[in-house]
């Protein structure tokens, strides 16, 4: 079962992808790139941009989830169970 989508382990980290994008940009801006190489670099840059956008979206989703959980925990009334344990200790 072959898939055209790369495995997660095959994709660069966000930092590596942005560093490679910066290098590609520098190569393109230098004007020294061969036309055939330039086309390959543009294709690679497009793939790296997709990886970065996916990572950013996934991170945004995780951050929203965590902040919603924190907000819900702060808004929930405190559980009185801990107070009962303290009172039991005083009764002895």
Q: What digits encode the pLDDT tens for the residues 27-55?
A: 889 988 788 889 999 999 999 999 999 99
Alpha carbon distance 68, 25 (integer Å): 38
pLDDT at 1 over 90: no
Q: What is the pLDDT of residue 73?
A: 93
Lowest mean pLDDT among 42-46, 66-70, 72-76, 87-91: 87-91
Number of domains in the chain: 1
Question: What is the reported pTM?
Answer: 0.66
Backbone angles phi, psi at 13, to 5 degrees: -65, 165
**Is residue 5 in a domain?**
no
**Is residue 68 in a domain?**
yes
Q: At what angle do helices 35-75 and 14-30 cross, to 10 degrees?
A: 150
Average pLDDT over residues 8-36: 89
Contact 41, 33 (CB under 8 A): yes
Average pLDDT over residues 74-86: 63
SS3 call for 31: coil
Range of the domain at 39: 12-75
């Amino acid at each position: 079962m072959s898939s055209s989508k790369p495995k997660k382990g095959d994709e660069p980290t966000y930092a590596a992808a942005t560093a490679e994008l910066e290098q590609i940009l520098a190569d393109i801006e230098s004007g020294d790139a061969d036309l055939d190489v330039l086309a390959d670099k543009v294709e690679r840059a497009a793939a790296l941009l997709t990886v970065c956008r996916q990572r950013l979206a996934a991170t945004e989703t995780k951050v929203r989830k965590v902040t919603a959980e924190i907000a819900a925990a702060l808004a929930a009334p405190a559980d009185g169970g801990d107070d009962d344990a303290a009172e039991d200790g005083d009764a002895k």
